[in-house]
Amino acid sequence: MTAVKKALMITGIIEKNQTKITIQSMKTNNQWQQALATAVRDPLVLVDLLQLPPLPALSLAAAEQFSLLVPHSYLQRIRLGDWHDPLLRQVLPMSDELQLVDGFGIDPVGDSAAMVAEGVLHKYNSRVLLISTAACAIHCRYCFRRHFPYAEAQAGRDQWRVACDYLAAHPEVDEVILSGGDPLVLSDQRLQWLLQALAKQPHLQRIRIHTRLPIVLPERITEGLLQLLQQTSMPIVMVLHANHAQELDAVDVKQAIQALQLSGVLLLNQAVLLRGVNDSVAALRALSEELIAQRVLPYYLHLLDKVAGAAHFEVPEDEAQALMARLRAEVSGYLVPQLVKEVAYEASKTPVMPFG
Ligand SMILES: *Cc1c(COP(=O)(O)O)cnc(C)c1O
Ligand code: SF4
């Protein structure tokens, strides 16, 4: 063993490199695309794989409105035979979704009005959000974009050029948020084109990526993607989306998160407060603790957007405030995400204070 290697081992760097090498050899482009292609799309296959007993609330009609989609990696984190599993609840088409509930609509956050060009949302002064693709690797039943006109909002290169022209004309914008859908569903080639085009905008300081893929399809974090992120000349902030500690408790997820961190990406997490998933102090605490254990900072906890079909996930605001007050009394301040809601036409997300 060389002296250098020995020194590296002592400092722990070589251990990190070895993790990287494992990831390099494990994850190839082909594999993540295959994992996405073989994700579960049939509710009856899901029931079978998870060995679930019959449940009347399972609804094929709900799955027709918004299709089921769950990658196998995520499926492996769901407990067998348990309808109440917090991960299963996020993806399971339920008859509750078909009920019309007052106050729950199609575009609850005013996205249509904020669309300044195809696929470009400019709602908040300093940052612009790009709907970079319509596709996701998982379908979350509570998603506020479940009724969004994705086909119209899907950006191809021509639309990205339009988005870049818009940015060039708006020097007050210092950050671009790649969102969707999920931007990491794009191929490396398309992402590279987009990142390079954005990096040429002189007034941009950061690129932010809103993605659930490291959590739901960790195979996506390939060496090619990591290189691409490393090569981008601007700081990259990645906002993950995990709602429950159990979603983070998998070797492949931990490796994906670590690989992103070793590539210099700053990782934050946003979650949605969901009835039957994470609506307890214990669940919220466990989520924050697991995030910090993996060096990811809890950023936002969102109140549910009032989208038609998701009313059964709602936790009322006063209950949310009480939960946050109790969480704050239990843990370090940085383990407490900011509770926010999205009010259409406001200048930012709206903080919800612990006692109203
Ligand atoms: C949530 C959101 C952002 C980001 O808001 P931050 O408070 O900076 O995280 C930007 N644009 C749109 C359209 C959003 O919905
Ligand atoms: S990953 Fe995000 S955008 Fe996609 S369905 Fe889930 S919540 Fe919606």
Specify the pLDDT at position 106.
Answer: 85
Contact 212, 241 (CB under 8 A): yes
Instruction: Report CA(226)–ligand 1 centroid distance (Å).
Output: 25
Please provide residue 184's backbone torsions phi and psi, each rounded to the nearest 5 degrees: -80, 0
Task: Determine the Cα angle at 135 with ends 134 and 139, to 5°.
Answer: 120
Please provide residue 271's backbone torsions phi and psi, each rounded to the nearest 5 degrees: -130, 165
Nearest CA to ligand 2 atom 3: 181
Q: Residues of 111-150 as b/e, b for ≥16 C-beta within 10 angstroms?
A: beebbeebbbbbbbeebbbbbbbbebbbbbbbbbbbbbeb
Q: pTM for this one?
A: 0.91
* 120 Cβ below 6 A of ligand 1: no
Pairwise CA distance, residues 24 & 34, whole Å = 17
* 177 Cβ below 6 A of ligand 1: yes
Number of alpha carbons in the 13 Å side-chain half-sphere of residue 351: 7
Nearest to 242 by CA among 230, 254, 225: 254
188-199 and 223-231 helices, crossing angle to 10°: 10
SS3 134: coil
Q: Which residue has the tokens 């670590």?
A: 258
Instruction: Report CA(143)–ligand 2 centroid distance (Å).
Output: 6
* 130 Cβ below 6 A of ligand 1: no
Specify the pLDDT at position 142.
Answer: 96
* 173 Cβ below 6 A of ligand 1: no
Q: Tens of pLDDT along the chain (356 residues)?
A: 344 434 333 333 334 444 444 444 446 678 999 999 999 999 999 999 999 998 889 999 999 999 999 999 999 999 999 999 999 999 999 999 999 999 998 887 778 888 998 889 999 999 999 999 989 999 999 998 777 655 444 557 788 889 999 999 999 999 999 998 999 999 999 999 999 999 999 999 999 999 999 999 999 999 999 999 999 999 999 999 999 999 999 999 999 999 999 999 999 999 999 999 999 999 999 999 999 999 999 999 999 999 999 999 999 999 999 999 999 999 999 999 999 999 988 999 999 987 64
Specify the pLDDT at position 160.
Answer: 87
Specify the pLDDT at position 27.
Answer: 60
* 137 Cβ below 6 A of ligand 1: no
